[in-house]
Amino acid sequence: MKNDCNIVVLPGDGIGVEVIDATLAVLDRVQARHGFKLHYDRRPGGAHHYKDTGNAFPDSSMQACQKSDAILFGAMGWPEIRYPDGTEIAPQLDIRVHLDLYAGVRPIRAIPGLPLPLASPRAKDIDFVIVRESTEGWFFARGRGTKRKTASGDEAVYDTCEISRKGCERLFDFSFRLAEARKKRNPKKGKVTCIDKSNVFLGMAFMNQVFHERAKLFPAITADHCYIDAFSLNMIRKPWDYDVCPMENQFGDITSDLGAGLICGMGYAPSADLGDNHGVFQPSHGSAPDIAGKGIANPTATILSAAMMLEWLGERHQEARLTNAAQALQDAVDSVFAAGRVKPADIGGNDGTGAVTRAVIEALG
C-alpha cells in the first residue's frame, strides 16, 4: 500500500508557473477526497533561472527528480533567453535523457463539449495517442552530434539523427502494451501505427524493420504503418482512425502540436514522459510568452497531466486510491466542459485560469 508520494514540482517559466499553481489547488481537493497524500518538493530551473544564475537546471533539482516518485512540470524556455550557441534553454530535454524517459505519451482526445475545429461529426471520436521517442532521433544531436563543416561553422551544420535497436524495441513494446490496455477499455481500439520516413532514410527503414519484428510478439494488436507526410494529411482527414502512433522524437514533437490543434489547442493536450523508473508529467505546451501574466492560460492540459501522473503511480504501486483518483479527475474535467460550465479564452470565452480551476474543483465535489 502506498498512500503518500513525493512529487518534485518544477513550475519553470511563463505560464508554467500559472498552470502548476492551478493544478496543485486541484490536487489538494483530489487528495482530500481520495485519502492519499502528495508531498511537494518545489524546485527551480528554466530560462529565467539561467538568466539569474548562469545555470538552467541546478544539480540539486536533478537529484531531487531522481529520488522522487514522480515529477510534475510546467514549462521551461523563453525565446529571448538563449545559450551562446543560439539554442534555447530546455531542461525538459535534459531530464528526458538523464532519467532515460524514452516514451513521450501524448493523448489527443476530444473532450466532450468542446467546439472542435474539424467540421465532421466524427471529430468527437478523436482519441489517439502519439508516442514520441524522447531520448534519440533528431534530438540526439543536441549538445553532442552536431558537426560544423568549417571551424567558424558558418558554411554548413550537420545534426546527427540516431536510431538504435534498443531505442526502437522499447518504444514499440511500450506502444503495443499501451494498445493492449486501451483495447481492454475500448474493444474498438487495439492498433499501433508506426509513423516514419522509411522510404527515404536508412535509420527509418531500420526502425520500420524493428517495428515488424516486435509486432510479431503482440499478435492480438493490429500493426499498421504510415509515412509521416501522409500521416500529417490523415491527422486532418480522418484522425479518428488512429489509436497508438509511435514515432521518432522530432516527428512526435511536431505532430503533437498539430494534434493539439485538432482538440482546440495546447491548453487541452497533456503528456507523460515515461521511462522504466521515472515519470515526468507536463502539458505539451511551452511557456507561452504571448499570454503569460494575463491570467488566461488554460490549466486543463496540466490538470489532465496530473491525472496521468496519478494513473501511473496507481499502476506502479498497485494502489486503487490513486487509480480511482485519476479517473475521477479526468471525469471532473470532462463534466465541466460537457456541461458548458466554462468557456476559456482559447475557445473564444472569458474564463481565465482561476475560473477553470474553480470549476474543476467544484466538479470533484
291 contacts ligand NAI (rule: CB under 6 A): yes
Number of residues forming the site for ligand NAI (CB under 6 A):
24
Number of residues forming the site for Mg ion (CB under 5 A):
1
Binding region for ligand NAI (CB under 6 A) out of 197-205, 231-239, 284-292, 324-332: 284-292
Q: Give Cβ neighbours of residue 168 (< 8 Å, ≥ 6 apart).
A: 133, 206, 207, 210, 211, 214
Rg (the chain; Cα; Å) = 20
78 contacts ligand NAI (rule: CB under 6 A): yes
Q: Are 102 and 170 spatial neighbours (Cβ–Cβ below 8 Å)? A: yes
Binding partner at 253 among Mg ion, ligand NAI, none, C-beta below 5 to 8 Å by kind: Mg ion
Burial of 340 (0-12, 13-18, 19+ CB in 10 A): exposed
Binding region for ligand NAI (CB under 6 A) out of 128-136, 202-210, 227-235, 287-295: 287-295
Q: Which residues pair with 351 in a beta bridge?
A: 344
285 contacts ligand NAI (rule: CB under 6 A): yes
Q: Minimal CB distance to ligand NAI: which residue?
A: 286
43 contacts ligand NAI (rule: CB under 6 A): no
The two beta strands, 147-148 and 191-196, are unpaired
Alpha helices in 186-319 (DSSP H): 202-215, 228-237, 249-262, 300-316
DSSP 76: -
Q: Which of residues 74 and 246 has its CB atom nearest to ligand NAI in the complex?
A: 74
Least separation in angstroms between CB 142 and Mg ion: 13
76 contacts ligand NAI (rule: CB under 6 A): yes
Least separation in angstroms between CB 303 and ligand NAI: 10
Binding region for ligand NAI (CB under 6 A) out of 70-78, 99-107, 200-208, 328-336: 70-78
Binding partner at 189 among Mg ion, ligand NAI, none, C-beta below 5 to 8 Å by kind: none
Least separation in angstroms between CB 18 and ligand NAI: 8
Of 65-124, binders to Mg ion (CB under 5 A) are: none
18 contacts Mg ion (rule: CB under 5 A): no
DSSP H/E element including 179: helix 165-185
What does the alpha-carbon distance between residue 340 and residue 342 come to, in Å, rounded to a whole number?
5
DSSP 261: H
Retrieve residue 199's grid coordinates. 522510404
Binding partner at 290 among ligand NAI, Mg ion, none, C-beta below 5 to 8 Å by kind: ligand NAI
Residue of 127, 152, 112 whose CA lies nearest to 334: 112
Least separation in angstroms between CB 20 and ligand NAI: 11
Of 239-278, binders to Mg ion (CB under 5 A) are: 253
* SS3 call for 278: coil
Q: Give Cβ neighbours of residue 348 (< 8 Å, ≥ 6 apart).
A: 115
Q: What is the contact surface with Mg ion in residues (CB under 5 A)?
A: 253
